[in-house]
Structure 1
Amino acid sequence: MRLAFSTLGVPGMPVPEVLDLAVRSGFHGIELRGHPEEPVHPGLDLSERQRVVQQFAESGVTLLSVAGYPRMAESGDDAPVLEDVRALLQLAHDLGAPYARVFPGGGPDLAEGDATAVRRLREAAAIADGLGVRVLLETHDSHSTGTDAARVLREVDHPGAGALWDVMHTWRAGEDPEETYRLLGPYLGYVQVKDIASREDTTPLPPGEGVLPLTDVAELLTRATDAETPAPGEGTGVEWLCWEYEKRWYPEVRELPELLPKVREHLLGLLADAA
């Protein structure tokens, strides 16, 4: 299992600084926030994209994913959403990232949200497949459980589309990690973790200081990685575990350089204990 961390919570941090932190703290990969206010976003021209590729290559750190914000289940016209998805997928391709993250973002009508998400993801999956990347639907907002995401992905039925398991959202929705993994295993790109104090208090804590079932998740992922030939529905093995840092939305959270070595040590310990 390889470890990555997300830049979602460190707005505006230059790529060289992010890579330096990864190298010094021993992380293997980075999930970049692909938003216009960030250094890396779909508006970059070709020379700027090539510069990012070179920076990652020189550091030896992997660009795991570009985390974008198209909302696949949100009501409205498909065209602008798919335009944003296409731009995000092209960016991931140009930067050499295997994944691009999208949100559900639907409303209270799950049937309508499912139909919209399936329709858009089918088209997005075909685009992604042609570019050699995968579009990952995160367990979030309207589709926060493995049950929700798998229901959509079963209908999409395309290898270009998969799932990003955000453990906090599935757990807060009352879904047991083993059930989440059973449902999402065939579709998983990678898994995103953090820790929180309670279902009601989502202020991020370093892994191990809160209540999220990270030990259970580590055991499930280790079991999948060790399996020689996973059975259908039991997962295909997940290579990446990504820690999500969210100081952007929670200013009281400790600084990233201080936390990274401890986070890496804790996650590696969980994986070793589960082996």
Structure 2
Amino acid sequence: MFLGVSTLGCPGLPLDRVARMLRRHGVGGVELRCADDEPVHTGLSRAGRRAARAALDGLRLVGLATYVRLTEGAAGLGEHLDLAYDLGAPALRLMPGGDGDPAPLLGPAAAALADAVVAAKGSGVRLLVETHDAFLRGADVRRLLELSGASHAETGAVWDALHPWRAGESPVRTAVELGPWLAEVQVKDVASPAGRRPLVPGAGAVPNAEVLTLARAAGFTGPVVLEHEARWYPDAAPIDDAIAGARRLFDRV
């Protein structure tokens, strides 16, 4: 396993400053949030994309965190695939979408993922679905991935440590459900399922250490990404403190 940091924790920060910050903490990987208010988005020119790659200064690009939603037909996927190709990103994070009961959303979401896999074929970009939205549990995402008919090489799962836990699924069960689909682990911390202000990893209630231990025991060798949701919470713990906490957590497991 190797450690990375999502730019969700430092919204709008220029990429050269992101690179300096991560190197200062001994972190070699970065996941780029793609949005109009970030340095990286689908409207970047070719020159802007070359500049973005140069600004990362050799950091390992884990992938692009998109807001493409499967329950909305994966609208915008093509533009994000082009961006991933130009930046050399190996993966796109997709959101399952929806809220409430995932059962009636499962068929449409799986069909959209199957179509997305066809669109991505030959690009070298793997499509990853996060435990999020209506599909909070590992069991929900596993069903979606299996129903799509895609292979493990084409698709995978992002295990966000917060959401299956707050939905009542134990880390042991999530690890079993995601199994060979597991492509990325996201760590973050909060005080409780209802108290969602981002804390320094290790200071809250999310069972991050157990999640990482289970992932390592299962033979997972992919990225562990700190997703510190500072973009949504202005009172979040400082990003430098969060990275230091994630580094301590990662080094102990």
- Give the TM interval when normalised to the shorter protein: over 0.9
Q: Which residue of 1 is the match for residue 66 of structure 2? A: 68
Q: What is the deviation of 1:168?
A: 0.2
Work out the CA distance in 2 between the residues paired with 1:174 and 1:167: 12
Q: Which residue of 2 is the match for residue 219 of structure 1? A: 213
CA shift in 2, pair 1:109/1:5, >3 Å: same
Say if 2:167 is the partner of 1:184.
no
| Runs of 5+ unmatched residues, structure 2 | none
On the 8 A contact 1:33/1:40 being kept in 2, the answer is: yes
So what's the TM-score if we normalise by structure 1? 0.86
Aligned partner of residue 181 in structure 1, secondary structure: helix
Work out the CA distance in 2 between the residues paired with 1:129 and 1:176: 34
Work out the CA distance in 2 between the residues paired with 1:259 and 1:111: 35
Q: Which residue of 1 is the match for residue 23 of structure 2? A: 23
On the 8 A contact 2:84/2:92 being kept in 1, the answer is: yes
On the 8 A contact 2:228/2:242 being kept in 1, the answer is: no
Percent identity of the aligned residues? 39
CA shift in 2, pair 1:196/1:109, >3 Å: closer
1:168-189 superposed Cα distances (whole Å, 9 cap, x missing partner): 0000000011111111121121
Q: CA RMSD in A?
A: 1.5
Q: Which residue of 1 is the match for residue 44 of structure 2? A: 44
Work out the CA distance in 2 between the residues paired with 1:129 and 1:213: 36
Q: What is the deviation of 1:162?
A: 1.4
Amino acid of the structure 1 residue aligned with 2:169: E
> Out of 98, 106, 115, which is 2:90 matched to?
98
| Runs of 5+ unmatched residues, structure 1 | 226-236
Q: Which residue of 1 is the match for residue 137 of structure 2? A: 145
Q: What is the deviation of 1:100?
A: 0.7
So what's the TM-score if we normalise by structure 2? 0.93
Q: Which residue of 1 is the match for residue 115 of structure 2? A: 123
Q: How many residues align?
A: 251
Amino acid of the structure 2 residue aligned with 1:36: D
Q: What is the deviation of 1:107?
A: 4.0
Say if 2:165 is the partner of 1:171.
yes
Q: Which residue of 1 is the match for residue 7 of structure 2? A: 7
On the 8 A contact 2:230/2:236 being kept in 1, the answer is: yes
Q: What is the deviation of 1:158?
A: 1.4
Amino acid of the structure 2 residue aligned with 1:90: D
Say if 2:136 is the partner of 1:136.
no
On the 8 A contact 1:136/1:161 being kept in 2, the answer is: yes
